[in-house]
A and B are shown apart, each in its own frame.
Chain A
């Protein structure tokens, strides 16, 4: 397990009451946000019958499995089994919970105690996330590492690119752009991200 924060989504792409699947260091996780806005990253598997929790539903501050409606509190502890409404679920029924935090408009997850905080992203605003069916080659995109992110310009706009590795040489890029850029420039930068994806995938083909 890697002792650092992995970017898994832009904060604005995970609204309250939403759950989505994400992959960190090969581990499949269910990332969700409660009604009050708290985020959590859990093993993507209900301990009851192995159903993916990322197919589940959020009510209030709990995530429920779509299969039998078992609901789990923020701690990962099962708090309700609908088939047995009067039963207090045993403590053993618990979903493994991982570290998750929000910083700079990005959601970060760590499977092991991270040695450092996520990179500082002051002055940047979230642009978009894009999945590459190819490895990311920062040099080909003219980007250089600085302060924990790949930085440079896309379509003339200053950007920071965060890489979330996926299995089989795929990855997700989470891109932030200069907060002072005009809306039109941000549209160009967003197209620049798309170009970057296409070039990476074509280089592989």
Chain B
């Protein structure tokens, strides 16, 4: 029996910050313990050992039976990139709302004012969105947006190009113009750990071409952005993401979100979702 929710891989800890005491946390409403055993990391829930692995700086666990390997981020192994463990931000919101917000650019001028966007540069041009059937992922490409300070390494405003990828229901990967290295993409991910349907821990992680910016500045930059997002995410009604149309009104700028909701519904991924308009 497969289970579209329990069979996914979820982040449960940052390897670099897992101390000898281990970490007691939660996943899909159940208690989970992440601990060192000798040189290895184990993940247990209610006395049961969960399939787990270490990848992209994090410990990943599957509460059910994994139906496929963890998604691949080829750029993670590319030489010359700095891998940034940002840490976690706890957000009182549906894990799906957190992912959807990460896929959205139209909020930049209003939520990340003078950093990722600024009035009057609010227009979202046409971009391409597809559910790539061969890999079963949501992709948005050719996304362009004017940004006053696109990254810690950016000096002054530039038009940034983005690609978004959703390889798993609670994971999003952002590919973004890399100011010091034209032709390459900076990779910024959002790994979301669902504690329960309306509470999550968000683990941003980055693989950047940036040899100059101090690590603490890179981390602070991302934390600033996510704390701004949190003020939105904790104040959306309903708290769960509506998968059926009718309760919320999208526009052309929301095509990624529309595809994400459709893809979630098709997969039967309803954890943190609301199916019927309440």
A and B from one assembly?
yes
Give me the interface of A with B, judged by CB distance under 8 Å: 28, 44-45, 47-52, 55, 65-69, 81-85, 87, 92-93
Tell me the bound Cα distance from A69 to B238 in angstroms: 19
Which residues of B (194-243) have their CB < 8 Å from a CB of A? 231-232, 235-238, 242
Instruction: Find chain A residues with CB under 8 A from B119 CB.
Output: 69, 82
Residue of A nearest to B123 (CB): A85
The residue from A55, A82, A85 contacting B235, defined by CB atoms under 8 A apart = A55
The residue from B124, B231, B235 contacting A83, defined by CB atoms under 8 A apart = B124
A–B pairs, 7, beta carbons within 8 Å:
A50-B242, A50-B248, A55-B235, A67-B111, A67-B232, A69-B119, A82-B109
Q: Tell me whether B122 is interfacial, beta carbon within 8 Å.
A: yes
Q: Tell me whether B180 is interfacial, beta carbon within 8 Å.
A: no
Helix, strand, loop or mixed for chain B's interface? loop
- Asked if B237 and A69 sit within 8 Å, CB to CB, the answer is no
Tell me the bound Cα distance from A28 to B235 in angstroms: 12
Instruction: Find chain A residues with CB under 8 A from B247 CB.
Output: 50
- How far is the CB of A20 from the nearest CB of chain B, in Å? 14
Q: A48-B250, A49-B248, A82-B122 in contact; A66/B237 too (CB < 8 A)?
A: no
- Asked if A66 and B249 sit within 8 Å, CB to CB, the answer is no
- How far is the CB of B274 from the nearest CB of chain A, in Å? 10
Residue of B nearest to A51 (CB): B236
The residue from A47, A51, A69 contacting B249, defined by CB atoms under 8 A apart = A47
- Asked if B235 and A92 sit within 8 Å, CB to CB, the answer is no
The residue from A49, A55, A84 contacting B124, defined by CB atoms under 8 A apart = A84
- How far is the CB of A173 from the nearest CB of chain B, in Å? 27
Instruction: Find chain A residues with CB under 8 A from B124 CB.
Output: 83-84
Which residues of B (105-159) have their CB < 8 Å from a CB of A? 106-107, 109-111, 119, 122-124
Instruction: Find chain B residues with CB under 8 A from A84 CB.
Output: 123-124, 251-253
- How far is the CB of B211 from the nearest CB of chain A, in Å? 35
- How far is the CB of A120 from the nearest CB of chain B, in Å? 37
